[in-house]
Amino acid sequence: MNHSLNSVEKEKTTGDFSIVPDLSAWMPEKKLLELIVTLGQTLEAARFNFSVAMAEWDRDRLRKLIALVVFSCAVGIYSFDKLKRRLQSGGHPQSFWKEIDCDPGLVQSFRQANRELIEECLGKACLLVWKMKFGNWQTKSFSQASCRKTGFFYRVNPALYAHIASEVKRRLNEAEQSVNST
pLDDT in tens, 113-161: 889 999 999 999 999 998 888 876 655 444 454 444 444 445 777 888 8
CA distance 178 to 28: 25
**Max Cα separation, the chain?**
54
Helices (DSSP H) in 42-93: which residue ranges?
59-75, 80-89
Q: What is the pLDDT of residues 150-163, one digit of tens each?
A: 444 457 778 888 88
Q: Is 1 inside any structural domain?
A: no
CA distance 40 to 121: 7
Q: Is 157 inside any structural domain?
A: yes
Burial 92-104 (b: 16+ CB within 10 A, else e): beeeeeebbebee
Q: Is 118 inside any structural domain?
A: yes
**pTM over cut 0.85:** no
Q: Is 9 inside any structural domain?
A: no
- Reported for 62-68, long-range contacts at CB under 8 A and 24+ positions apart, including other chains, are 63/37, 64/37, 64/40, 64/96, 64/99, 64/100, 65/100, 65/102, 65/107, 65/110, 66/40, 66/114, 66/117, 66/118, 66/121, 67/33, 67/36, 67/37, 67/39, 67/40, 67/121, 68/100, 68/107
What does the pLDDT read at residue 8?
Answer: 38
Confidence of residue 91 (pLDDT cuts 50, 70, 90): low
What does the pLDDT read at residue 74?
Answer: 94
What's the domain count of the chain? 1
What does the pLDDT read at residue 1?
Answer: 37
What does the pLDDT read at residue 142?
Answer: 46
Q: What is the pLDDT of residues 2-33, one digit of tens each?
A: 333 343 344 444 346 788 889 999 999 889 98
Q: Is 6 inside any structural domain?
A: no
Q: Is 92 inside any structural domain?
A: yes
Q: What percent of the chain has pLDDT over 70?
A: 71
DSSP 140: T
Helix (H) / strand (E) element for 133: namely helix 115-134
Residue-number span of the structural domain to which 154 is assigned: 22-180
Q: Is the pLDDT of residue 71 over 70?
A: yes
CA distance 91 to 83: 13
Q: Determine the average pLDDT of the residues in 47-66.
A: 77
Q: Is the pLDDT of residue 102 over 90?
A: no
Q: Comparing 68 with 56, which gets the higher pLDDT?
A: 68
Q: Is 16 inside any structural domain?
A: no
